Structure 1
């Protein structure tokens, strides 16, 4: 081959490499929070960034953008199926989402959101402490979002509830006495309480009961983006294997777990038949906040 031919071939290969690299950029469109005061998405956004960074050597460049507007769960599911307005989210898993989308079977917070304590009117705290469990709590009424997985969990386990059509309105409904308690994950309740305590002077965090609903929060990816799903699953397994995920979870939630005082609470288990038993059996996926090694509960 002549020198001119060699140069031409090298130039062709270089252009091919550039074209491949341009095509290999994984473009994430993540869903948007309900409002600037809604911080529930911040942790999963930070974790997704860590996952994408960890997988650059294997999968290459990436970009992250955010949906133009917030979508409630039914609209978000439809948008994720289509994959244009949004293609990745992190949400508590339910049967429909598990069937319709590509899920990453590593809980984003190692199961912390499934430990639920409640917001209440402070005047009801004495009654909550005296309830015989679980039947006493089943006589009261919980508040949940219409399409939330928590609603299905409460219903399936025989608890009463009323629904609200939007997240912000549920706080107003609670303080208006429309329901008795508002179950929230330990990863979200303290920020919600701190943000609203000045507006709702009788708002309180119930201090005697914890519900464990076994609903993991997972990354969900549009079925139109199998490569992106593979990348996120690979990255989550990498973070899990080397201990980064556990450190990340505790870094973001340690203060919340200290405030929750879970060891002083009476515990109610809410079985979840929709979750793959193989996932529940993988002990490495779940952070046990009652394990003394984490420092939240004393050794027995």
Structure 2
């Protein structure tokens, strides 16, 4: 049988060309809420600057706890996840130190039972705040911050339980990022919930993308892409279009809220606090 070196070379070139254009599929947690959809969109935007052949695919299964998601990152079932940061997470995983929400997670207002606004009308400082109970997820970074500031925290494992426990008055308030309460209340309209009217907590709380601690290439791609999106304005365009941010602009009344500042002792030294372009100027709201 005769061989055709030229034909083989052409075939090999075609195979290599197809492989070079083949899409790389990266897996993320399911898109359950606005935070998930926003983080997914930010990751997609970042990767579009560095490799257009990378495609993100969200898990289609049910909502999973954060420990389950982190376990699936460790096992290689997932490639990227997102959450508020702390020292432990930055030790166990590789963070992309660009705050996706520009630090907005560090400004917290409360979901309360709609009949209980009176409990908050005389609260004006941290000492006053210690008289009420706050609900939080057991593994959330916020939980440790609130406890480090001497606040009484009721901890549960699954997010939906917190809304039902507010309704059942099992604790007094559920602190949420200033962009979160309205959508969550609307999606649980059968419950007796409201946004507390006059208080706001403040602490540094970056919300990052994370990858497996050995996947430095992906972390660098995400960081490079996000920095390019910041430079050309695409990052802010996506941020201000996010539904929760739009709700803040419409409803949060931030200028008339009493601000109670808390300390976050769990920030790492690598937190980019000296890059003002990464952080929200709350005065603009």
Matched, 1:236 2:226: yes
2:35 maps to 1:48: no
Q: How big is the shift at 1:150?
A: 1.2
Distance 1:276 1:258 in 2: 34
Equivalent residue, structure 2, for 1:280:
273
CA change 1:21–1:223 in 2 (3 A) is: farther
Q: Does 1:110 align with 2:105?
A: no
Using the alignment, how far apart are the partners of 1:234 and 1:40 within structure 2?
22
1:64 aligns with 2:62: no
Query: Which residue of structure 2 lines up, in the alignment, with residue 247 of structure 1?
Result: 237
Secondary structure of 2:282's aligned partner = coil
CA deviation map 1:235-255 (0-9, x unaligned): 111111222212221121133
**Structure 1 residues 154 and 251, CA gap change in structure 2 (3 angstroms):** same
Matched, 1:226 2:223: no
Q: Which residue is equivalent to 1:289?
A: 282
Alignment partners' CA distance in 2, 1:98 and 1:29:
20
Q: Does 1:212 align with 2:202?
A: yes
Query: Equivalent of 1:73, from 66, 73, 79?
Result: 66
Cα deviation for residue 181 of structure 1 reads: 0.6
Count of residue correspondences: 278
Q: How much does 1:44 deviate?
A: 1.2
Deviations 1:23-65 (A, max 9, x none): xx4322110145xxx443121122222222233xxx3401222
Q: Give me the whole-angstrom Cα distance separating, in 1, the residues matched to 2:127 and 2:133.
A: 12
Alignment partner, residue 177 of structure 2: 185
Is this contact kept in 2: 1:110–1:246, CA < 8 A? no
The CA distance in 2 between the partners of 1:232 and 1:285, in whole Å, is 15
Could you tell which deviates more after superposition, 40-49 or 213-222? 40-49
- Name the Cα RMSD after superposition: 2.1
Question: What SS does structure 2 have at the residue aligned with 1:40?
Answer: helix
Give the whole-Å Cα distance in 1 for the aligned partners of 2:97 and 2:137: 24
| Contact 2:28-2:81 within 8 A present in 1 as well | yes
| TM value normalised by structure 2 | 0.89
- The one-character-per-residue Cα deviations of 1:190-214 (angstroms, maximum 9, x if unpaired) are 1011222x3123x110011111131
Instruction: Tell me the secondary structure at the aligned position of residue 42 of structure 2.
Output: helix
The separation in 1 between residues aligned to 2:187 and 2:16, in whole angstroms, is 53
1:217 positional shift: 0.6
Q: Which runs of 5 or more residues in structure 2 are unaligned?
A: none
8 A contact 1:81–1:100 mirrored in 2:
no
Name the counterpart of 1:32.
30
- RCO higher in structure (CA 8 A, sep ≥6): 2
> Structure 1 residues 60, 176: CA separation in 2 closer, same or farther (over 3 Å shift)?
closer
Deviating above 3 A after TM superposition, structure 1's stretches of 4 or more consecutive aligned residues are 4-22
Q: Distance in 1 between matches of 2:241 and 2:58?
A: 24
Distance 1:72 1:11, change over 3 A: same
Q: Contact 2:124–2:258 at 8 Å: present in 1 too? A: no
Q: Which runs of 5 or more structure 1 residues have no equivalent in the other structure? A: none
